Chains A and B, each alone.
Chain A
Amino acid sequence: MQELNTLEFSILEKLSVKYPFIKEHIPFLKVNSRENTGAGMYVNLIYNTPTDKELHFGEQNSAISTNEIIEIASLKYGLGYEVDIAEGEVKFIELFTYGEEWDGIIPINFTFTP
């Protein structure tokens, strides 16, 4: 179990503006695994919630995104993303390229553009 990296944290923060319920979940989300596919990456999340904490759920089963592009130096067209919600829990982040191959390396410098 790992901590969210800067990009993963930024994605969830961005989403919480449009989907406020996510804000409450972020402190309890950890990374269970990262799967680099060469065409993107799946960041599988897991909760580390105290038993006395009850989280509120907004969406039940959906996929949400702000539809911004994550620009990084190694990709001409950048990365897109969406977050999978199942039974009210944030399950995974799907990062995907726009037709390019990707080594899965997330640089320190990235920007979100509309």
Chain B
Amino acid sequence: MKKHCVKFLIWSLALFIGFSTEVHAQSPAVDTYTQYKAWVTLKVLGEGLPPVMMIALGTGGLTSSNRVFGPQLPTQARSISQASKVMPSNRLNHIFGKSEHALESLITKFGSQEGAYNAVQNAANQALKTGRLTPNAKGILPSGDLGNIINVGGVDIRLIGGRVENGQVILSSFSRKGL
């Protein structure tokens, strides 16, 4: 019992910190990830406490409405999803994982696959603005021997497909073969 009381005191302090974080979360300066970490810490340390104490602390209730930080998790998940949308790993693997695309020189020039991808993205957007791309009526860019060739920092790249949306190019794939 004494052990539980000590734990409860520690948890009261943690709960106070947690509430403070949540209150400050109204300010844009505190991100949801900080709250999520606090919630995970509470959850992990809460193992061994009687269920009634865990519910009181908001970490072990039967429903998400009992949790202090639990509801922040989906927001965090959305943030991760948005981040991966910016640099889609599947797309990188698709483009750079095929050696026949012969993109080694581009990666070397820009330091990484991500750097090379961003450089092509920027060059494609610039080419679109200056009318050097040929999307069809649906905004679809050509592939094969009709693929648009753009210059990316001195390296010619052939765009494989792609789509124009809101004045930006959504890259499908690209290669140095077929230039």
Which residues of A pack against B, CB within 8 Å?
Answer: 37-40, 42, 61-67, 69, 77, 80-84, 86, 91-92, 94, 96-99, 101
Contact = CB atoms under 8 A, between A and B. Distances in A.
Interface of A is mostly: strand
A92 B146 contact: no
Contacts, number: 87
Contacts of A40: 94, 172-173
Interface string B139-179: 01011111100000000001011110100001111010110
A38 B84 CA distance: 13
Nearest to B100: A84
B90 interface: yes
Contact of B172 (A64, A91, A92, A98): A98
Max count, chain A CB within 10 A of own CB: residue among B143, B146, B158, B177: B143
Interface of B: 88, 90-91, 93-95, 97-98, 100, 140, 142-147, 158, 160-163, 165, 170-173, 175, 177-178
B95 to A, nearest CB: 8
